[in-house]
């Protein structure tokens, strides 16, 4: 018996079109198949029983097709036997287009979709419309007891042909119930994990930090979509240790693995008062978790034990002019410097660079406070011309720059081009300049008797710590000089901003948190 699907669908016009587009030969397989595909098997019956909707096409007396969606509770389309399916036709908008078409031409075509699994079943059939007053038993078989919609008639379909379509071009879609089935277990698991994390975090946060300075969070402000400010005061309202412009505070954090650590944040508050500190924290989604912990866990009333403030980025004390350059979150120490200089009535320039004004923390307050003395630059504008700006200052001006590595490097390179002494350029990093472009090196620790391989993407300090050798360190971005080690052999490449030229040359020291080597090997007095 020929395939029923091909017999119905492959008209002479369709066959001619297949020939024209080169698919006639491949479609012969449908016509020559042994299986007539005009009965529903167990697989089809199960598939139909899981559907809560389908699409049906009928043909009007004037030759126009009409496609309609039919829906109901799952399983409302019922398989009565291998050649018969049916459904209760619920009351709708009372246009009766499909039913009217079927009264004139009983042929129907249906598509049943399984969007999540990208499956679809096509059914061709002939219809008989039934009514309760004529065939109440059949109507009873089609009713859905749990569905309260009014049944107006029954539709019985004798299956003439079936065909499974390929899944190509079916976009997966999910009902609310299907999404609940997928998401609810994940939400329950997530809630359990969050509860466990909260219990662990709360236990540790209650005694967060081991520093000698007790602080309490008394204010939280969202400065930009990614930057949040935290106001910190003494728990008893006492004055805090006096700071100078450029100072930073080392605050306690817990990393993702529960390890206790610290992070340095510049104090942006006016250094000429000591009633409170303020830090601004940029959420770094690609970082190692310190800023994320602060954003997720630092809350009003939370008590911290911090180290005393320190300053690795202090202003010069003489009367030479200052040129302040901030990029992004680098505004935090720079704005404290601007306030100190303004209050001391000293000469300075103030430049602030960002992607957009919306992403530049404190910009509105600074515009109000400094007026035309504040120069702002965004990506949409021309931007800061470093060469023009740095050339248009007095010969003794001291430059202070804090921000992204590209801004710091730009200032350093421009200074070289303009013949500006390196002693007049002062900078502070917020991240390490380590990059994959650096070479691997061997580092011998003479006193420890160990030789360590340092990969291009790790610092000498982190490699030494991973080998179990303890050494002093603090900022880990080349600002403080705490990790400075004496070089016994090899040629270091200095990338820090902490050591003086004398310490580097005569003292033969290097900051192992950021600096590298041009030689293949270094020997350190560690």
- CATH (domain of 290): 2.40.30.10
CATH of the domain at 374: 3.40.50.80
User: Are both 65 and 159 inside the same structural domain?
Assistant: yes
Alpha-helical regions (H) of 263-404: 290-297, 331-343, 363-370, 386-391
How far apart, in Å, are the Cα atoms of 143 and each of 89, 146, 297? 9, 9, 56
Beta partners for residue 4, in sequence order? none
- Rounded CA-CA distance 480/494 in Å is 14
CB 521 within 8 A of CB 442: yes
pLDDT tens for each residue of 91-135: 777 889 999 999 999 999 999 999 988 899 999 999 999 998 899
Determine if the pTM surpasses 0.75: no
Query: Is residue 27 situated within a structural domain?
Result: no
User: Are both 137 and 218 inside the same structural domain?
Assistant: no
Query: Is residue 13 situated within a structural domain?
Result: no
For 4, the enclosing helix (H) or strand (E) is helix 4-9
User: Are both 330 and 408 inside the same structural domain?
Assistant: yes
User: Are both 354 and 464 inside the same structural domain?
Assistant: no
- Rounded CA-CA distance 282/280 in Å is 7
- Rounded CA-CA distance 520/441 in Å is 5
**Which of the four pLDDT bands, split at 50, 70 and 90, describes residue 513?**
confident
Query: Is residue 76 situated within a structural domain?
Result: yes
Given a cut of 80, is residue 40 above it in pLDDT? yes
Query: Is residue 184 situated within a structural domain?
Result: no
- Rounded CA-CA distance 499/489 in Å is 19
User: Are both 416 and 509 inside the same structural domain?
Assistant: no
Give the end of a domain, one of 306, 333, 358. Answer: 306
Mean pLDDT of 482-497: 87
* Mean pLDDT, rounded, of the chain: 88
SS3 content of the chain, % helix, strand, coil (to 5): 30, 30, 40
Beta strands in 274-397 (DSSP E): 277-282, 303-306, 322-327, 348-354, 374-378
How far apart, in Å, are the Cα atoms of 509 and each of 474, 483, 489, 492? 16, 10, 11, 9
Query: Is residue 178 situated within a structural domain?
Result: no
Q: Under DSSP, is residue 490 helix (H, G, I), strand (E, B) or coil?
A: coil
- Check residues 61 and 190 and name the one with the higher pLDDT: 61
User: Are both 474 and 384 inside the same structural domain?
Assistant: no
CATH of the domain at 55: 2.30.110.10
Burial class of residue 84 in the structure, from the number of CB atoms within 10 Å of its CB (0-12 exposed, 13-18 middle, 19+ buried): middle
User: Are both 111 and 149 inside the same structural domain?
Assistant: yes
User: Are both 86 and 135 inside the same structural domain?
Assistant: yes
Give the end of a domain, one of 375, 393, 428. Answer: 428
Structure tokens at 104: 């004139």
CB 480 within 8 A of CB 498: yes
Q: Which of 283, 256, 278, 254 is nearest to 265 (CA)?
A: 278
| Distance of alpha carbon 400 from the chain centroid | 33
User: Are both 75 and 155 inside the same structural domain?
Assistant: yes
For 126, the enclosing helix (H) or strand (E) is strand 119-130
- 54-59, long-range: CB < 8 A, 24+ apart: 54/110, 54/111, 54/112, 54/113, 55/110, 55/111, 55/113, 56/98, 56/108, 56/109, 56/110, 57/108, 57/109, 57/110, 58/97, 58/98, 58/101, 58/102, 58/105, 58/107, 58/108, 59/101, 59/105, 59/107
Q: Under DSSP, is residue 237 helix (H, G, I), strand (E, B) or coil?
A: coil
- How many distinct structural domains can be found in the chain? 4
User: Are both 350 and 411 inside the same structural domain?
Assistant: yes
Mean pLDDT of 175-186: 84
Secondary structure (DSSP) of 46-84: HHHHT-SEEEEEEE-TTS-EEEEEEE-STT-SEEEETTE
**Which of the four pLDDT bands, split at 50, 70 and 90, describes residue 495?**
confident
**Which of the four pLDDT bands, split at 50, 70 and 90, describes residue 87?**
very high
Query: Is residue 502 situated within a structural domain?
Result: yes
Look at the alpha carbons of 354, 355, 357, 362 in this order and tell me if their dihedral is positive or negative. negative
User: Are both 261 and 154 inside the same structural domain?
Assistant: no
User: Are both 465 and 490 inside the same structural domain?
Assistant: yes
- Rounded CA-CA distance 155/80 in Å is 12
Torsion of CA 482, 488, 492, 496, to 10 degrees: 10
Query: Is residue 435 situated within a structural domain?
Result: no
Strands lying side by side in the sheet with 398-402:
374-378, 348-354, 322-327, 398-402, 425-428
Mean pLDDT of 395-422: 94
pLDDT tens for each residue of 280-300: 999 987 767 789 999 999 999
Percent of the chain at pLDDT > 90 equals: 53
CB 126 within 8 A of CB 158: yes
Q: Which of 400, 423, 251 is nearest to 314 (CA)?
A: 400
- Rounded CA-CA distance 282/265 in Å is 10
Query: Is residue 211 situated within a structural domain?
Result: yes
> What is the per-residue pLDDT for 322?
97
> What is the per-residue pLDDT for 431?
66
Given a cut of 70, is residue 434 above it in pLDDT? no
Least confident of 41-45, 252-256, 357-361, 397-401: 252-256
Domain limits for position 271: 207-306
- Rounded CA-CA distance 225/218 in Å is 21
pLDDT tens for each residue of 184-242: 888 888 888 777 666 555 555 555 888 999 999 999 999 999 999 999 999 999 999 99
């Amino acid at each position: 018996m020929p395939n029923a699907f091909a017999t119905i669908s492959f008209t002479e016009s369709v066959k001619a079109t297949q020939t024209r587009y080169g698919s006639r030969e491949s479609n012969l397989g449908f016509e020559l198949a042994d299986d007539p595909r005009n009965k529903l098997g167990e697989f089809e019956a199960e598939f139909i029983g899981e559907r809560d909707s389908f699409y049906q096409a009928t043909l009007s007396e004037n030759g126009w097709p009409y496609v309609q969606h039919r829906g109901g509770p799952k399983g409302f389309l019922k398989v009565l036997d291998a050649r018969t399916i049916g459904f209760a036709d619920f009351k709708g908008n009372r246009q009766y287009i499909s039913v009217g078409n079927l009264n004139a031409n009983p042929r129907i075509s249906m598509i049943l979709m399984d969007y999540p699994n990208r499956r679809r079943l096509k059914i061709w059939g002939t219809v008989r419309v039934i009514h309760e007053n004529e065939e109440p038993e059949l109507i009873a078989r089609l009713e859905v007891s749990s569905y309260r919609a009014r049944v107006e008639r029954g539709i019985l379909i004798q299956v003439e042909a079936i065909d499974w379509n390929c899944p190509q071009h079916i976009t997966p879609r999910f009902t609310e119930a299907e999404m609940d089935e997928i998401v609810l277990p994940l939400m329950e698991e997530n809630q359990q994990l969050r509860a466990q994390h909260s219990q662990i975090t709360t236990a540790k946060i209650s005694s967060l930090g081991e520093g000698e300075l007790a602080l309490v969070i008394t204010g939280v402000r969202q400065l930009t979509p990614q930057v949040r400010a935290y106001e910190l005061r003494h728990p008893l309202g006492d004055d805090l240790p006096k700071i100078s412009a450029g100072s930073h505070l080392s605050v306690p954090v817990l990393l993702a693995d529960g390890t206790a650590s610290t992070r340095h944040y510049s104090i942006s508050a006016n250094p000429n008062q000591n009633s409170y500190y303020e830090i601004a924290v940029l959420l770094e989604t690609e970082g190692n978790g310190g800023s994320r912990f602060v954003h997720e866990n630092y809350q009003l009333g939370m008590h911290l034990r911090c180290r005393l403030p320190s300053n690795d980025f202090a202003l010069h004390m003489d009367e030479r002019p200052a040129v302040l350059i901030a990029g992004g979150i680098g505004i935090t120490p720079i704005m404290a410097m601007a306030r100190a200089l303004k209050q001391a009535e000293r000469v300075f320039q103030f430049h602030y660079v960002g992607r957009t004004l919306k992403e530049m923390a404190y910009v509105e307050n600074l515009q109000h406070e400094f007026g035309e003395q504040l120069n702002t630059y965004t990506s949409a504008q021309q931007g800061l011309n470093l060469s023009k700006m740095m050339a248009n200052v007095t010969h003794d001006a001291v430059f202070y720059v804090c921000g992204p590595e590209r801004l710091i490097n730009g200032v350093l390179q421009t200074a070289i081009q303009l013949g500006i002494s390196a002693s007049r350029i002062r900078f502070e990093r917020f991240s390490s300049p380590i990059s994959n472009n650096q070479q691997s090196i061997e580092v011998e620790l003479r006193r420890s008797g160990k030789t360590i391989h340092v990969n291009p993407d790790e610092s000498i300090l982190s490699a030494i710590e991973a080998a179990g050798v303890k050494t002093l360190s603090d900022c880990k971005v080349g600002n403080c000089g705490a990790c400075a080690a004496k070089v016994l052999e090899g040629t270091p490449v200095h990338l820090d901003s902490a050591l003086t030229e004398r310490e580097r040359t005569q003292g033969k020291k290097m900051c192992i948190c950021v600096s590298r080597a041009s030689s293949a090997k270094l020997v350190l007095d560690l």
